[in-house]
Amino acid sequence: MGTGPRAWGLLALVLLWGAAAAAEDPAYLFSQVLFCEPDSPSLGLSQMLDSDQLFWFDFPGSSWHPRLPDFQSGVPTRPPAPLIENLSSFCKDYLGMLSNIAQRIPMPESKGIPALKITTMQPLELGRRNTLICSVSNVFPASLSVVWEQQGVPVTEGVNTTQPYSTPDLDFFLFSYLEFTPQEGDVYICAVGTPEEGFNNIAFWVPKDPIDAELWQTVLCALGLALGIILMVVGFVLIIKSRRPRN
């Protein structure tokens, strides 16, 4: 456990979270979380509903973005950029003050050990386009990068990594997506870390129990045929009942 100012950069996050979550025992908790730290990303801002991210702010572009396309209509109602710039300045000033204190009084630096998990977006079929999802939890501080490898070779095409966003436990969570076409013998790696400290947190993915495409089509056809037969029988029964004379 080292010393340094990075833990203090996330102390501002805790204070802002407490201000956003003032209500007691709400059915749903809406929170707006701003954090700043010395390393990249130096600033981050998210709006959350419980543990789900709704919107995030792009500081270089000074614009809000929805976590999902369905929330696009809510972007115009987000806080304006000038207000966010004032809050960001406050966070940086507060971080600088605490960093100066930490230089005179050595303090432990808090760090989380990231937990990684890789899943596929769709049922696995060899030779059919799919997406790998690497979910990274217990991220603290937020200055981490995600890299992908296939058979030991770095992969950058088809990669999309979300901004880090906070959780109710006041750490961070992020997703990284990789579009790919699975083949027999594939080995994919999702690694998390920093260029300075290395990418030592790793998750592996290999094709496991893939669904044969022809078998899958046969199963779907059989299910469709069975459903058709059931509906036909139900239709005949209803017709017979409707023609019976009423007492």
Reported as half-sphere exposure (CB side, CA atoms, 13 A), residue 142 has a value of 30
What pLDDT was estimated at residue 11?
Answer: 44
The CATH-assigned architecture of domain 6-104 is Roll (3.10)
Question: Hey, is 211 helix, strand or coil?
Answer: coil
Q: What is the residue type of 39?
A: D
Question: Would you say 124 and 210 are in contact if contact means Cβ atoms under 8 Å apart?
Answer: yes
CA 152 – CA 189 distance, rounded (Å): 8
Within 10 A of 55 (CB to CB), how many other CB atoms are there? 23
Least confident of 22-36, 112-126, 184-198: 22-36
The domain locations on the chain are 6-104, 115-205
More confident residue, 15 or 212: 212
Residue 230 scores a pLDDT above 70 = yes
Q: Taking the chain, what is the end-to-end CA distance rounded to the nearest angstrom?
A: 86
Question: Would you say 36 and 91 are in contact if contact means Cβ atoms under 8 Å apart?
Answer: yes
Q: How many residues make up the chain in this entry?
A: 247
CA 155 – CA 7 distance, rounded (Å): 32
CATH 3.50.50.60 fits 115-205, yes or no: no
Least confident of 88-97, 99-108, 216-225, 231-240: 216-225
CA 95 – CA 116 distance, rounded (Å): 29
- Say whether pTM exceeds 0.95: no
What pLDDT was estimated at residue 234?
Answer: 73
CA 123 – CA 102 distance, rounded (Å): 50
Within 10 A of 166 (CB to CB), how many other CB atoms are there? 26
pLDDT confidence of 201, banded at 50, 70, 90? very high
- 54-108 confidence digits (pLDDT tens): 888 888 888 898 888 778 877 888 888 888 888 888 888 888 887 787 778 877 7
